[in-house]
Amino acid sequence: MSLEKLKRIDENRLEVPKDYKEGMRTNGIIYVDSILEKELESGSIEQVANVATLPGIVGASMAMPDVHTGYGFPIGGVAAFDLKEGIISPGGVGYDINCGVRLLRSNLKKSFVLLRIKELIDVLYNNIPSGVGSKGKIRLGPDDEEKVLLKGARWAVDKGFGDASDLERIESGGCMDGADPSIISSKAYERGRAQQGTLGSGNHFLEVQYVDEIYDEKTANALGLFKDHITVMIHTGSRGFGHQVCTDFLEVMSRAVRKYGIVLPDRELACAPFNSSEAKDYFASMKAAANYAWANRQCLMHWTREVFMSVFKIPPSELGLTLIYDVAHNIAKIEEHIVNGQKKKLVVHRKGSTRAFPPGHPELPAVYKNLGQPVLIPGDMGRASFVLIGTEKAMKETFGSTCHGAGRVMSRHQAIRQAKGRAIWREMEDMGIIVRAAGRETLAEEMSEAYKDISNVVDVVHNAGISKKVAKLKPIGVIKG
């Protein structure tokens, strides 16, 4: 791969200049250091450049250090568009709408939980529906189907899955206003009916971890994180429902491209002017899928709490398994940002990237107003995950965005070939990590070698100042789909 046209801005950023390819309206910026630069795919660079050709783009077309090739937009991509001149694109959100992460802290110490870790993981595995096409304990009737899409995590709390206080620690309060259930296809409803309250497959997981290292003690303690205490991380999204919404609207957007005469370097960038009827319908449907995902993670968290209480026979007050935060990383949102010294509303696409809002931001919950937004960055199941905090620099440079995970370096097929003849679960157990999964192929696809080293990825965003390291979490038990 030739990197000749790329220009290094500083030790953490590469520029994809406007003359990289014909039609670019702005430059691209990729957050990588010299280590991760070696793992850059030519395809993801091309996609950063392609996004820069889209109408109404404001600022640079950006990619975070976990960047890899996706559908249309790169995974790890961030792009903001003017509400009048710009567009919205399903490829800039992704198929798994509002795939996201939530993190729980606890009063339990690692030494205490390790005594019964196998039992805990077995009971979690039996109580958290996972795997391809998994069906949950919840069956949505017609009335609840609409309420989930309109109310998100609020619906789950109303049904007894958690407490109202949980909602204060979820991005957007666990619900985006403006969802329209009436424009959702019957196929999307069909796929979503039995999948509410399920983990799913692929890179989705539920992980029991412990706080291994603290970088910012004051912030960590304010979040309820203490060395060697147990945490739980849940990573999943809108499941087949969101996938179908994306599929449905890619067809709609393909027609819109022709209707509005939009010239694209890649048909996967299918989009529509933000003020068009097609865009409004997609945005309202995307919000419905986002709300489905927040309800999903809320239900999974509730059952996780129940499992911990049943296994350890301790009351909720002693357990202290409470939500730190829940962040989305496949979503588009209307936000206010400073552009050329003036406040401007933009539609910000984050695909495999997450918000990193600073202290004082009006969208932060009261509990984090003076602290900044907790940023949750999961790694692969064999290494670590990180908690960071949002910064003012992110608001100035990346529309308040940072990375969302480690980022793949192998395709799933490559990983399966690489793992042939190996017992990944045994390798994990030798490392002190108990793993349960629906199938051997899932573990092969998700083995550590298939991903970039999360420590390298997090170091880039930390050193660039777009989010600051707070704590490192290491796994001791993992449930994969």
Nearest to 266 by CA among 51, 20, 35: 51
| DSSP string for 191-236 | HHHTTTT---STT-EEEEEEEEEES-HHHHHHHT--TTEEEEEEEE
Asked if 88 and 279 count as a contact pair (C-beta separation under 8 A), the reply is yes
Q: Is 18 exposed, middle or buried (0-12, 13-18, 19+ CB in 10 A)?
A: middle
CA gap 6, 45 in Å, rounded: 9
Q: Residue 303: left (phi > 0), alpha (psi -120 to 50), or beta?
A: alpha
* H or E element, residue 354: strand 353-355
Q: Show Cβ contacts of residue 209 under 8 Å, excluding neighbours closer than 6 positions.
A: 230, 231, 232, 233, 385, 473, 474, 475, 476
DSSP 401-456: EEE-S--BSS-HHHHHHHTTT--HHHHHHHTT-EEEES-HHHHHHTSGGGB--HHH
On the 0-12 / 13-18 / 19+ scale of CB atoms within 10 A, 25 is middle
Q: Which two tokens stand for residue 306?
A: 């129940």
Contacts of 313 (CB under 8 A, 6+ apart): none
3-class secondary structure, 77:
strand
Contact predicate 50/64, CB 8 Å: no
Active site residue 337: no
The pair of structure tokens assigned to 446 is 């998700």
- pLDDT at position 1 is 40
d(CA 107, CA 109): 7
- Catalytic entry in 361, 404, 413, 462: 404
From first to last of the 481 residues of the chain, give the pLDDT tens digit: 456 789 999 999 999 999 999 999 999 999 999 999 999 999 999 999 999 999 999 999 999 999 999 999 999 999 999 999 999 999 999 999 999 999 999 999 999 999 999 999 999 999 997 756 666 678 788 889 999 999 999 999 999 999 999 999 999 999 999 999 999 999 999 999 999 999 988 889 999 999 999 999 999 999 999 999 999 999 999 999 999 999 999 999 999 999 999 999 999 999 999 999 999 999 999 999 999 999 999 999 999 999 999 999 999 999 999 999 999 999 999 999 999 999 999 999 999 999 999 999 999 999 999 999 999 999 988 899 999 999 999 999 999 999 999 988 888 888 888 888 888 888 989 999 999 997 778 888 888 888 889 999 999 999 999 999 999 999 999 998 7
Burial of 425 (0-12, 13-18, 19+ CB in 10 A): middle
253-282: b (≥16 Cβ within 10 Å) or e: bbebbeeeebebbeebbbbbbbebebbbbb
Question: What per-residue confidence (pLDDT) applies to 446?
Answer: 85
Cα 40 versus chain centre, distance: 20
- Please enumerate in sequence order all residues whose Cβ is within 8 A of that of 261, keeping only pairs 6 or more positions apart, or say none: none
Residue 409 to residue 39: CA distance in whole angstroms: 7
User: Which segments of 313-372 does DSSP mark as H helices, in order?
Assistant: 316-319
Q: Distances from the Cα of 453 to the Cαs of 49, 138, 271, 407, 448, in angstroms?
A: 25, 37, 33, 9, 8
Q: Give the whole-angstrom CA distance, residue 381 versus residue 263.
A: 41
SS3 call for 116: coil
User: Partners of 58 in the beta sheet?
Assistant: 80
Tell me which fold the domain 7-480 belongs to.
tRNA-splicing ligase RtcB (3.90.1860)
* pTM of this structure: 0.96
Distance from C-alpha of 452 to C-alpha of 378, rounded to nearest angstrom: 12
Q: Could you tell me whether strands 57-68 and 28-30 are parallel, antiparallel, or unpaired per DSSP bridges?
A: parallel
Task: Please give the full DSSP string across 257-324, using - where no structure is assigned.
Answer: HHHHT---SSGGG--EETTSHHHHHHHHHHHHHHHHHHHHHHHHHHHHHHHHHHHHT--HHHH--EEE
CB distance 95 to 246 below 8 Å: yes
Token pair recorded at residue 124: 């979690």
